[in-house]
Amino acid sequence: MAAATANTILPTPSSLTSSFKSSIPISKSILPFSTAPRKLTTSRSLTISSSLSQSSSNTRSAAATVTPTTAPSHDFISRYAPDEPRKGADILVEALEREGVKDVFAYPGGASMEIHQALTRSKIIRNVLPRHEQGGIFAAEGYARSSGLPGVCIATSGPGATNLVSGLADAMLDSIPLVAITGQVPRRMIGTDAFQETPIVEVTRSITKHNYLVLDVDDIPRIVSEAFFLATSGRPGPVLIDVPKDIQQQLAVPKWDQPIRLSGYLSRLPKPPGEAHLEQIVRLVSESKKPVLYVGGGCLNSSEELKRFVELTGIPVASTLMGLGTFPSPDELSLQMLGMHGTVYANYAVDKSDLLLAFGVRFDDRVTGKLEAFASRAKIVHIDIDSAEIGKNKQPHVSVCSDVKLALKGVNRILESKGAELKLDYSAWRQELNEQKLKYPLNYKTFGEAIPPQYAIQVLDELTNGNAIISTGVGQHQMWAAQFYKYRKPRQWLTSGGLGAMGFGLPAAVGAAVANPGAVVVDIDGDGSFIMNVQELATVRVENLPIKILLLNNQHLGMVVQWEDRFYKANRAHTYLGDPSNESEIFPNMLKFAEACGIPAARVTRKENLRAAIQKMLDTPGPYLLDVIVPHQEHVLPMIPSGGAFKDVITEGDGRTQY
C-alpha cells in the first residue's frame, strides 16, 4: 500500500492500535426476502476529493484530500441534556446508537456490568443474550454476513474476552465488518495480573484490523466512530475496543464533534480504477478464446454489476466458497464452486482457460492447490480492494487495486460503448464446458434405505425454492451444502471459510434471524460442529427465533474420517463421536438437547420419510431440530488432494473402499 502521508496524526496514548490488514469487501446487497435492516444513522461527515491521473499506471499512488469528522446526526435525539454529565458506559452506548446499532450480542461479567446497565437504559438497542461469548461473536458475524451491516458483540474481561478470539480470527480471514467491545480491569490494575485480567489488545493484535485500549473517557465518541469506519471501509474486518471499568464509571460530558484521526489509513484506501487499466481488461477479454470468471467474497456487494458483465460478455462464472450467491447458481453460465471440493467442470474451466478474471479473491490454497499448476495456461487479471493480496500468491498480468463494484461499473461502461464491434463469441468454449457438465455432474451414491446427506440438502433446496438463508458448521456437511443448495442471491450463504471454525452454524443462524426477521433461516449442521455451541439452543428458544436445524448426523468427525479413509488406511484416530460401548445407539441423543430447551424435534433414518420430515420442519412455527441420520462412509467428491492439481482430481469411491 502507499505510504502514510507526512502529516499523519499519530494515535494518542488513549488508543493502542494494531497494524491495518485487509481483502475481500463485503457490504449490503438485496436479498430475496425481507431483511428489515436497521437504518444506519449518519454520525460523521466524510469529504473526499480525489485527484487521479487517468494515464497514471499506479492508481494507488494518487493523492487524496480527506477531511473526516464525527458529528451528531441531525435526527438523533439524546436522552441526556447536551451539558449533562453521564457515565462512560452511557456515552459508549449512545455512541453505538449514533452509529445506527439496533442489536448487540452481549454476555455480562464483572468488568462489563456498567455497559449492560447502560444498555438497559437504551430505548434503541436490543441485547440478544448468547449463552457463551463465542456464540455471541459468531452471532454478530451471522448478523453482519447476512445483512452487510457491522455486527456488534460485547464481553467481559479475561476469559470473556479470550472467548472472542476465534470469532475475531474468523472475521479477519473472511473480511467481516465487526465491532467487538470488551470490559477491562480498572486502569490502575492493568499489568498487575488482576482477577480476570488479560491483555486482550495484545492477544488480538494480529487477528483484528485495528484495536483500541480506551484510557480517556473523552475519547469514547471518537474511538467508536473510528471503529465503525474502519470495520466497514476498504477491506472490512473486525475492530476491538477494550474499555477499563473505571472509564465506564467515570462521569463526563461527551463531545460528539471530534475529528477522527485516521489520515494515514485514509491515504492508503484504494482510489477509483484508472481508465487505462479497464481498457486493458476489455482488450484481454476481446482477445481471449477461453475466458473464465473466478469470483469471491469481494463480489458480494457487486452482484448486479457482475451479472451485467456476464450478460455483456457471456463468460462462464466459477465461485469460491465465500463467493457463493454473487452469481445465481442455477444460471446456465454458472460453473458453481471451484477448488478442492469444487465441480470438475469449474476446475476444468480454470485449468484450460486462456484468461482468468479473478475478482474479489485471494488465491487461497483450498482454491489453487498446487500454485504452479493453477491456471497455468491463462493470463490473469486480478481486481481486489486490498493491495496486499495482489501478487501475494499468484502474479497477475493486469492488476487493479480498487473496489470491485467501481471496477466492474467501469468495465461494463466500456463494453456497452464498444458494443458489437468487440464481436465476443465464446459459444465453442461454453459448449466444451457443457460437455464437461454432462460428463461429470455432481452426484452421489445410495446406501440402501439410508439417507444420502446430499439428497437431504437437495430436498431442502427444492422445498425452500433456494431462497433460505443457510448457515453451516465446518466439515463434510459444509461442503455438501455448498455443492447441492443452489444459491440465488448474495448473503444467503453463511459459513466459516478461511478459519474453518466448527460450532459456527447455530450462533450464525441466530444472528441471521435477528437481522432478517421473517426470513427462512436454516442451520445445516454436522453432529460434531453442532455440539460445540449447542448451548445456543437456549438463546433460540428464549428469543423465539424461527431457526430450522437440519442436523446431518453420522456419529463421526466426517471430514477427518474421509482423510483417514483416503490417506491413513482407514485407521480411526479419535474421530468416532458416539459411545464406543454401544455403537448401535445414536449418541448423544440430540433430541434431548432440543427437549431440554423446549424446541420441537424429530429424527428421520429412512430416505422414504425424509421429504415429509423436512416439510414438517419448515411448516412448524418457531424453531425446530431435525436429526437426519446419514452414513459415515460417504465422501465429499470431487476432491483435489491438498497441494494437488486438476489432473489429481478424485471423483470415485467412499469409505467402503480400501485405498
Catalytic residue (one of 337, 502, 532, 559)? 559
Alpha-carbon distance of 503 to 250, in angstroms, equals 38
- Any residues with CB less than 8 A from the CB of 352 and at least 6 apart, and which? 290, 377, 432
Write the DSSP assignment of 379-394 as a string of letters: EEEEEES-GGGTTTSS
Catalytic residue (one of 94, 99, 114, 133)? 133
Q: Which residue has the cell 487479471?
A: 381
Closest CA to 462 of 606, 628, 603, 610: 610
- How many Å is the maximal CA-CA distance in the chain? 76
All three cell numbers of 26: 463485503
- Is residue 133 part of the annotated active site? The answer reads yes
Alpha-carbon distance of 172 to 161, in angstroms, equals 16
Q: Residue 105 — φ and ψ, nearest 5°?
A: -120, 100
- Is residue 20 part of the annotated active site? The answer reads no
- Any residues with CB less than 8 A from the CB of 290 and at least 6 apart, and which? 349, 352, 353, 354, 355, 426, 429, 432
Q: Which residue has the cell 480498572?
A: 186
Where are any strands of DSSP class E within 222-295? 238-244, 251-252, 291-295
- Is residue 196 part of the annotated active site? The answer reads yes
- Residue pair 292/319 in contact (Cβ under 8 Å)? The answer is no
Catalytic residue (one of 54, 195, 202, 567)? 195
Please, is 437 exposed, middle or buried when counting C-beta atoms within 10 Å of its C-beta (0-12, 13-18, 19+)?
middle
DSSP 3-state of 569: coil
Helix pair 453-463, 610-619: axis angle to 10 deg: 50
Helices (H), 464-504: 476-484
Catalytic residue (one of 33, 113, 189, 196)? 196
Catalytic residue (one of 87, 245, 290, 486)? 245
Closest CA to 257 of 306, 221, 292, 297: 221
Where are any strands of DSSP class E within 245-305? 251-252, 291-295
Tally the residues of the chain. Answer: 659
Residues annotated catalytic, as ranges: 133, 195-196, 245, 559
